[in-house]
Structure 1
C-alpha cells in the first residue's frame, strides 16, 4: 500500500478531529444519529457539528460551515443527499480534510445518471488527494479509538476481530451476533460503492494493523476480483481471513448491482479461487462469526486430529459430520489412552469406547470428564479437543476441568455447552478469558473447529 494511502487511512480510523456535516435537531434524521454515535462511543478527539442555522446540538457548539472550524479536520462525515454530498466533498478538499465518509446513496447503483455523479465525486476526491469511504455506506467503527462513525449509536466490546462488509445490514447482523457470542470487535467498515477505496485496500491496511488478529469479509462483488483475491491470499499468510461470498443463485447479480453497484460474479469461480489462495470461505453470517471467534481465541492446532469427549452422543455425531467434510479427522485412540479411559469408566462400560468418546451417564459428572479429557488430549494423534456438555440444574458444567486440561496439555480446546447463551454467560466469560471458545450449538462449534483446522492445514499440519 502506498504510504500516502496508509497515512490517510490512519487519519480515517484514528482521527484527532471529526466534522459531521448535515446534523439536525431531529433524532429521526441520519445527521442527528451520526453525531450521537460519535458522542455515545466515547470519542475523545474534537467533534465539529456543521449546520448553517443551528447554534448547539447534543451539548456541542455547531459551526455554520467547514470554513468556520478553527482547526484542521482529519475526517469528515457527510450526512446530506447525494447532490449536496458532491459540493461538501469539494469543500472538504479546500479545507484540507484527508478522508470523508459519504453516507448517501444514489450513485452508480442507480444507473448511468448516478454513475456520472459518482465519477464527479471521485474526481473531486482525487483532485485534493482525499480518500472516500462509500458512498452509499453505513460508515465505520474503530473500538480502539472509541470511534463510531455510523448512524447506529452503539457501544461494542473491544477485541481482535475486524470486519469489512459490502452491506451495512449484513455487517450489522455480524456485529450483533458477534456480541451475542462474547466476541470483541476491533474495526468494522462498510465499503459501500468503493469509489476510491476497494475491499483490498482495507485488507492491506488491516494486515498492518497490530490490533487486528482476524479479518472477516462479506463480499457481494467487485470490479477487481484478481487483486482482491491476491491481496487476501497474501494477508492470510500472516493472519486469518474469513470470506463470506454471497451469490449462489443467479438472482443475486441484479440485486447486488442495484445495492452497491457491483456485479456479483460467479459464486463457484470466486469460491474456488479463494480456496486456491488458502482462504477460508463460509456460507452464512453464523458461520462467519463462529469461525472468527475460534480464530481470535484459540491457538492454531499443529494438525487436524480432532478428539471429542461427551456424555451425549448426538452432538458429537453432528461434529463428526460437519468437521469431516471440512478436512478434519477423528483418529482412533491409542491403546494407552484407552487404558486411562477404562480407569475412569471401568473395564466394561455400557458404551463403545472410541473417538468421539461418549462417557454416557458417568460423563454427566464433571469430575469424571476431567481425567477423560486429559487422557484424550495426551493422545499423540489428537491436536484439538471438543468438550461437550449439556447444561443441567443439578450438575455443574466441567469448566474447571476444561481449564485444567487445556493448561496441562497446551493443545487447543473448544467447549460446546448445550444451553442458552445467557445461562452459561459466566462460564463462557471465564473460558473466553483463557482462550477457550464456547459455543451453544454443535454446528457452530464444528464451524469454529473447522476454521482452526483450515489454517492448521495451510501450515502443513495434516493427519491421514
Structure 2
C-alpha cells in the first residue's frame, strides 16, 4: 500500500474532527443517526453537523455549509443521496478533508448509470488526494478513539479484534454476536463498493495497528483476489486472520453484484487458495466470532495435543468429532497423569479413564474437577485443555480452579460452560479477564479450539 493511503487511513480511524453532512432533525433519517452515533460513542474530538437550515441539533451548533466550519476537518461522514454525495465530496476536497465516509448506495451495483456516477466520485477523490470509505457502506468504528461513524448508535466493548466486512448486515451480525459473547472490538469497517480503498488496503493498515491482535474478514468478492490473498497471507504471519467467504452457490454471484458491485467468484477456488496461504477459513458469522474470540484471548498452543475434562460425556463427543476433522489430536494420558486422576476418582472408578476424561458425578464437585484439570495440564502430551462443565443453581462452578490451574501451567485453557448466555456472564467475566475464553455450546468451543490449533500448526507446532 502506498504510504499516503496508510497515512490517510490513520486520519480516518483517528480523526481529531468529524463533519456530519446531511444531518436532519428526524430520528428516522440516516443523517440524524450518524450524528447520534458519534455523540453516543463518546467521541472526544470536534463534531461539526452541517445542514443549510438547522441551527442546532442534539446539543450541537449546526453549520449551514462545510465552508462555514471554522476549523480543519479530518473526516467527513456524508449522509445525503448518491448524486449529492459526489458534490459534497468535491466540497470536502476544497476544504482539505482527507477521508470521507459515503453512506449512500446507488453506484456501480445499480448498473451502467451507477457505475458512471461512481467513476465521477473516484475522480473527484483522486483530484484532491482523498480516500473514500464506501460508497454504499454502513461506515466504520474505532473503539480506541470512541469513534462510531456509522448510522447505528452502539456502545461496544473495547478489545483486540478488528473486522473488515463487505456487508453492513453481516458486519452487524458479527458485532452483535461479539457483544453477546463478551468479545471486545477494536476496529470495524464496512468497505462497501471499495471505490478507492480495497479490502487489502484495510488489511495492510490493520497489520501495522498495534492495538489489533486478530483480524476477521467477511468477503463477497473482489476485483483483485490475487492481491487480497497475498496480503492476507503476509499479514497472517504477524497476527491471525480469519476469513468468512460467502458464495457456495451460483446464485450468490448476481446477489453480490447487485449488493456491492462485485462478483462473488468461485468459492472453492477462494477457499483452497486462502488455505494454501495458511489462512483460517470459516463458514458462518458464528464460527467467525468463536474463532476470533479464542485467538484474541488464549495463547497459541505449542502443538495440537488436546485434553478434555468433563462430567458429561455428550458435549466432549461433539468436540472430539469436530476437532478430529480440524487437526486436533487427543493423546493418551501419560502414566503419571493416570495416577493423579485415580487419586481423585479412586482406583476403580465407574468410568473408563481416557482422553476425553469423563469424571461423571465426582466431576460435578468443583474442587475435584480442578484437581483433574491440573493433572491433565501437567501432562507433557497436552498442549491445550478444554474444561466442560454444566452450570447448576446449587453447585459452584470450577471457575477459581480453572484460573489457578491456567496460571500454574501457562497452557491455554478453553471453558465450555453449558448454560444460557445470561447465566454465564458472571463466570465469563472472571475467566475472560484472565484470557480463558468461555463458550456455551460444544460447536462454538470446537470452532474456538480449532482456530488455536490452526495457528499452532502454521507456526510449527508438533502434530502428535
Instruction: Sort the TM-score into its range (normalised by shorter chain).
Output: over 0.9
Runs of 5+ in structure 1 lacking a partner?
none
TM-score computed with the length of structure 1 as normaliser: 0.99
Deviation at 1:3, TM superposition (A): 1.8
Aligned counterparts of 1:152 and 1:125: Cα–Cα separation in 2:
26
The answer for the alignment partner of 2:141 in structure 1 is 141
Deviation at 1:226, TM superposition (A): 0.3
The answer for the alignment partner of 1:460 in structure 2 is 460
Deviation at 1:58, TM superposition (A): 0.7
Cα deviation digits, residues 210-229 of structure 1 (max 9, x gap): 11000000000000000000
The answer for the alignment partner of 1:373 in structure 2 is 373
Instruction: Name segments (4+ residues, structure 1) moved above 3 Å.
Output: none
Cα deviation digits, residues 7-62 of structure 1 (max 9, x gap): 11111000001001100110010000000100111001011111111111111111
Aligned counterparts of 2:302 and 2:124: Cα–Cα separation in 1:
51
2:114 matches 1:123 = no
Structure 2 counterparts to residues 24-423 of structure 1, below 5 A: 24-423=24-423
Cα deviation digits, residues 81-100 of structure 1 (max 9, x gap): 00000000111111110000
Cα deviation digits, residues 246-284 of structure 1 (max 9, x gap): 001111000000000010000000000000000000000
Aligned counterparts of 1:25 and 1:374: Cα–Cα separation in 2:
60
The answer for the alignment partner of 2:434 in structure 1 is 434
Aligned counterparts of 2:408 and 2:5: Cα–Cα separation in 1:
46
Counterpart of 1:423 in 2: which secondary structure?
Answer: coil
Runs of 5+ in structure 2 lacking a partner?
none
2:3 matches 1:3 = yes
Q: Could you say what the CA RMSD is over the residues aligned between the two structures, in angstroms?
A: 0.6
Aligned counterparts of 1:57 and 1:362: Cα–Cα separation in 2:
62
Deviation at 1:140, TM superposition (A): 0.2
Aligned counterparts of 1:407 and 1:28: Cα–Cα separation in 2:
50
Aligned counterparts of 2:133 and 2:407: Cα–Cα separation in 1:
44
Aligned counterparts of 1:407 and 1:89: Cα–Cα separation in 2:
53
Aligned counterparts of 1:265 and 1:100: Cα–Cα separation in 2:
29
Equivalences, count? 464
Deviation at 1:456, TM superposition (A): 0.1
Deviation at 1:462, TM superposition (A): 2.3
Aligned counterparts of 1:224 and 1:3: Cα–Cα separation in 2:
20
Deviation at 1:6, TM superposition (A): 1.1
Aligned counterparts of 1:402 and 1:46: Cα–Cα separation in 2:
46
Aligned counterparts of 1:393 and 1:211: Cα–Cα separation in 2:
39
Aligned counterparts of 1:463 and 1:94: Cα–Cα separation in 2:
59
Aligned counterparts of 1:445 and 1:401: Cα–Cα separation in 2:
19
Cα deviation digits, residues 296-318 of structure 1 (max 9, x gap): 00000000000000000000000
Aligned counterparts of 1:392 and 1:54: Cα–Cα separation in 2:
57
Conservation of the 8 A alpha-carbon contact between 2:294 and 2:437 = yes
Aligned counterparts of 1:366 and 1:63: Cα–Cα separation in 2:
62
Conservation of the 8 A alpha-carbon contact between 2:457 and 2:463 = no
Deviation at 1:392, TM superposition (A): 1.0
Deviation at 1:463, TM superposition (A): 2.3
